[in-house]
Structure 1
Amino acid sequence: MGGRTQAHPVPGPVRSTLLVVEGLWTWYKRNWRSSVISTVLEPALFLIALGLGFGSQVEAGPATLGLPYVQYLAPALLAATLTQTAMLESTYPVLSGFKWQRVYWAMISTPVGAAQVLSGQLAWLALRLLVSALAFVAVAAALGALTSPMILLAVLFAVLTGMAVCAPVMAYAASLESEGQQFTVLFRFIMMPMMMFSGTFFPVEQLPALVRPLIWVSPLWHGTELCRGVTIGSLGPLAALGHLAYLTALFALGAHLARRAFVRRLEV
């Protein structure tokens, strides 16, 4: 009896996920300054430059739903900011966890499994997006860019939009052995067109009719419609349900593919 040691109990899925989040938070609180520019300062500068600077030359009218341009832009830019952050945090940091820093391998050397590594990474990114969204809302409020307290509901919609982007991108990043030019292509030919043609800066109705079906595929368009619609009160229940269903389905599919990629790569 005296020479035997009792094994530590294996944590359940929820506990394992929280342990992964705790580990990522421990790293982040020592390195948060490296992300402040891209997640807080740049979106604020975009809102000031485009909403107040360029927006001062845009008259309120049908194209801006009768709102000053900064108020028209703010809720959509919230969704766009979180989409950009989600894609950035789902590419190099994820590949780094496998290849360079190899933190995922350290995690699975404990009783935490590959599926819980992924769920913890997703939960951590959702928290990051939520904090970034609240910081953006604070800046927008200080600039007088908000029209309604419903912007707080738009925050949740924007987080969902970001998660709908990050899950499939994580699945892609987890399948790569080297970044090569893949991430550059992802940002140039997927992220940039989404930013420009998802209704963030101008109504998609101003684009040719043949292009619009391509825009409807964009998760950012659905997020923009949700955030802008709920903020200014123009979002109908059926439209909201359709946008939410699309984003939720995209997240679920991406999370499923990411889980397969993480398990395949880590549990060999």
Structure 2
Amino acid sequence: MTVLAYHLTGYRRTWRAGVFSSFLLPTLTVLGFGLGVGGYVDQGVNGVPYLEWIVPGLLASTALQVAIAESTFPVFANFQWTRSYTAQNAAPLRVGDIVAGHLAFVLFRAVTASAAFLLVTTLLGAVASAWAVLTLPVVALLALAVAAPTFGYAAAVSSDSWLAMLFRFAVIPTTLFAGVFFPVESLPGGLRHLAYATPLWHAVDLCRAAMLGAPPQWSVPGHLLYLAAWAVGGWALAVRRFRRRLVV
């Protein structure tokens, strides 16, 4: 809780800088794709208007992008530039406390950005079901599933160039091909299975089911267990990498 309070204190002074990337940009994407491109998709997707179909995917991708953004350069900076983790490690804190406190802040950022996005899209009339509120625990689990292993990755790399490569070769392709903008079933077989392997697709399927009031393509327990496996594995990796860097 002390580590979380430290990050919240810093965020209280810098939150305005993240409004565009975590809130306004996704909203503009909804207007551009949902209303602009959606106006040319006469039949919608599987009988669902394109605006209502795309919003759940954009909600999940917003949570993913906020979680990744908060888990790459901030983590790397705390090791390499500001040395904040070193200072925290010198206090009566365990490595697990440092990781858990920072991850809790990442979850706070992802969930609050997603909640604001959900509120705006509801006001725009793009949410068809009251079950949409269940998307918030889903995006929280997605944020943990992607942030925890990214913590481990950011703690292991020696240059911030590796972080840019993560965005270029993992985050952007995942956002484009994990069912956010078009059905995964329209992809070739090999790419389709890669999309199914991403945590984002599982969150998109759950969010779309909740917001449309329809059953998901895959089982709900299967989705949740898959995301939980990423979160648990990522937690173990992050703690191991942090301990290797901080404990001599």
- Code of the residue aligned with 1:247 in structure 2: it is L
- Code of the residue aligned with 1:44 in structure 2: it is T
- Code of the residue aligned with 1:244 in structure 2: it is L
- Which residue number corresponds to residue 78 of structure 2? 97
State the superposition RMSD in angstroms.
1.4
Note if 1:128 corresponds to 2:128: no
- Which residue number corresponds to residue 168 of structure 1? 149
1:70 pairs with 51, 58, 69, which one? Answer: 51
* Matches of 1:112 and 1:55, distance apart in 2: 51
Q: CA deviation at 1:67?
A: 1.7
- Which residue number corresponds to residue 126 of structure 2? 145
* Matches of 2:116 and 2:43, distance apart in 1: 26
Note if 1:198 corresponds to 2:181: no
1:252 pairs with 198, 209, 232, which one? Answer: 232
- Code of the residue aligned with 1:38 in structure 2: it is S
Contact 1:198 1:218 in 2 (8 A): yes
- Which residue number corresponds to residue 20 of structure 2? 37
Partner SS state of residue 251, structure 1: helix
* Matches of 1:236 and 1:28, distance apart in 2: 36
Note if 1:47 corresponds to 2:30: yes
| Larger Rg belongs to | 1
Q: TM-score, normalised by structure 1?
A: 0.89
- Which residue number corresponds to residue 7 of structure 1? none
Contact 1:44 1:139 in 2 (8 A): yes
Which stretches in structure 2 are left out of the alignment for 5+ residues?
none
Q: CA deviation at 1:207?
A: 1.2
More helix by share: 2
* Matches of 2:213 and 2:127, distance apart in 1: 12
Q: CA deviation at 1:262?
A: 0.9
Question: Identity of counterpart residues, as a percentage?
Answer: 40
* Matches of 2:18 and 2:154, distance apart in 1: 20
Q: TM-score, normalised by structure 2?
A: 0.96
* Matches of 2:246 and 2:99, distance apart in 1: 11
Moved over 4 A (4+): none
- Deviation by residue 1:149-208 (Cα, 9 ceiling, x = unmatched): 1111012112211211111111010112321x2112111111111011111111111112
Contact 1:97 1:104 in 2 (8 A): yes
Contact 1:65 1:72 in 2 (8 A): no
* Superposed counterparts of 1:153-232, under 5 Å: 153-179=134-160, 181-232=161-212
Contact 1:39 1:81 in 2 (8 A): yes
Q: CA deviation at 1:99?
A: 1.1
* Matches of 2:57 and 2:19, distance apart in 1: 20
Which stretches in structure 1 are left out of the alignment for 5+ residues?
1-17
* Matches of 2:218 and 2:31, distance apart in 1: 33
* Matches of 1:28 and 1:99, distance apart in 2: 20
* Matches of 1:174 and 1:28, distance apart in 2: 21
Q: CA deviation at 1:237?
A: 9.8
